[in-house]
Structure 1
Amino acid sequence: MAKQQQHSRSLYLSIALIMAALGLAYAPIPGTTPQSVIVVSGSELQEPLQKAIQQFQQQHPHIQIALKTQGSLDMVNQFVDRKNDFEPTILIPANGELLKDLEARWQAQNNSAAFYGTPLPIAKTRLVAIAWTERGKALFPDGQFRWERIEQAMQAQTWGNFGGTAAWGSFDFKMTNPARSNSGQLTLGLWLESKLKQSTLSTADLSVPEARSLVSLVKRSVYQPARSSDILLQEFIASGANEADIATDYESIALYRWAQSKTSQSQPYRIYDISPTVETVLTAAIVRQNVAKGTAKAAQTFLDALTQPAYQSILVQYGFRPVNPSVRVETVTGSPWQQSIPGARAKPATTAIPSPALQTLQEIGRLWERAQ
């Protein structure tokens, strides 16, 4: 009995030592002040950032990070207009160009800098199209994406009038709302450049009748445009080919959600490269408004971690292209580029052009709102 009691005491002591060691491992470092950081990102980054945050907090338990999601344009407007019911620390819109707009507007209104330091690129993606297999074959017989084919289908309104299968019903194109989402603005920007045969779109180009006519056609043809890019893909998959034939969205989301489309529908969608396309750089900025220096330092620690290979690999697993040149999309474990996704290319042959100027993108949003 004495030996059994001694063994029990030894076991309890061992467990206590293990628990104490774990407590020390995850306890704040002595002398450090716990910091709370609020990250605001687009919905396209929500899942990979949640995974990255979980990993980061195991290594930095004194830094607590909360994640909130907003559409990129809403993110900028709500921060500048101070309409959030929380105090953001880090903003990560889908396009780093939007941070330049935020900085200019903030300085004009407050006569002070908006950010701590220089915004940091953390990932890249590009605009692509996706279509259900049979719809894509009918729309692009040669396998090449063309804006004029979508315009012709919109004008025909139904597949029967366009040369497709009459049983497919109406032609349904999906995109995000250009008044709220950057991917919607980029869609119209590329489409208008193709329509007007312009290599660089300007605000003056948007006033010509051809531009107004195209935007009106698209707006009449798109039923309830989604407010954000990831929501668009989820709705596209849930609706299936009966209510959504083709959509434009970011490559990252198209790659990550592809497996879901394969499970939910009888056949998965195909990705189509748009050429030329726009490559966007997701860029993070630490804001100064109501953010103490200690919190800003903790936020910078998190952003610096996101550019390291281990965290860049997480982003690649969710379809993003890395900004760290040491990380290759085709070699990362769990990369969607290893899944034989139709149309996915680690090194696409398409031309990537700069995003239209911010003033042009803003005018595209206003043109959309005015269109009938």
Structure 2
Amino acid sequence: MDTISAAQFFGMMFVSRITITIALNAQYAAGESLLDGILSYLLAMAAGFLIALPVWALQRQDPSLPIGAKSVRVFGQIGKLLPLCYILYFLVMNGVSLALFQLFLLDNVNPDFPAFLILAVLVGVAAYGAWRGLEAIARTSACVLVLLLLGTVLVFALVSRRFDWENLEPLMAGGTSQLLQGAALFLSRTSLFAEMAVLLPFVRGRKLLGFTLWAGGTSLFVGLLIFLIAGCLGQYAYTQNFPVYALTSISEIASMQRLDAVFTGVWMMGLIVQTACGLYACRVCASSLVKGDCPPWVVIPGGVVMVVLGVGIASSYLMQTVFMDTRLWLILTGVVSLLLPLILLAGESLRRKGAKL
């Protein structure tokens, strides 16, 4: 399997973070004061440095060995449960992201053809990228990142004309409970730690610096985004399922109205990169379950599962209640980001001491 630089890897993760962030709901992310969302994200990033410690420890032990292969080496056949857990996590996480995009299409765009066809095309493109390899995804992500940043600058510059300082509310008006709830939401929707556990062996260069710049860059982006939403939309943001979309729809310049098309395009491009990373991570984990290299076509059934999950979740209120619950995702993210790496570290420590596992 090919390798990429730390800049390429964390560039992909930056695109994925933005893709997830623009779909968040203001009420759950910020509570009574939108500006609290900025503090919540900073708190989430501070906690993220601690959560990532077991992954970094595994990386130092075996820099070139994926976590799935390491689990099989330490625990034998039962160790295959670990890569299976990661595969399930990536499939469901990306399925939820696709479901959110389909809900957005149905609520705001209302296309003349079935929305699931758009999901199928997006995942098809992502599967092709995952088939070609990590280098192909990274190069595509670099192009998407440039377009995303240019689109962001355009949108931010135009909507800032509607900024009103009177829309801003005092920080911590609802106490610390909402701050913690927002931090939990951001952490629950952070797949970076799981992707680091699986893909870091294929990354070369200054990885810790890349992680630090990723945390700082995403904090700056999220902070500016929430600040503009608070100043431009105020309490109106709470009435919107997709407040970032509402923000892009308020341009007063006649020639640049309907910036929501830019928003939709950015989201679609980001989804392709995010889904491709998830499918490639599934491919790496699947390689730990078989002898020899795993054939690249395994990304196809993975993509089918993602589309089916996305359509199913978007079509069922019950499934939305289950799969979009912050507490569930906080637990799942904690398991794949912290618990499983800690178990593997403990198992490796016992193995080196001569204990039979």
Higher strand share: 1
Q: Is TM more than 0.5 here?
A: no
| Larger relative contact order (Cα-Cα within 8 Å, sequence gap ≥ 6) | 2
Higher helix share: 2
Structure-2-length-normalised TM-score: 0.26
Structure-1-length-normalised TM-score: 0.25
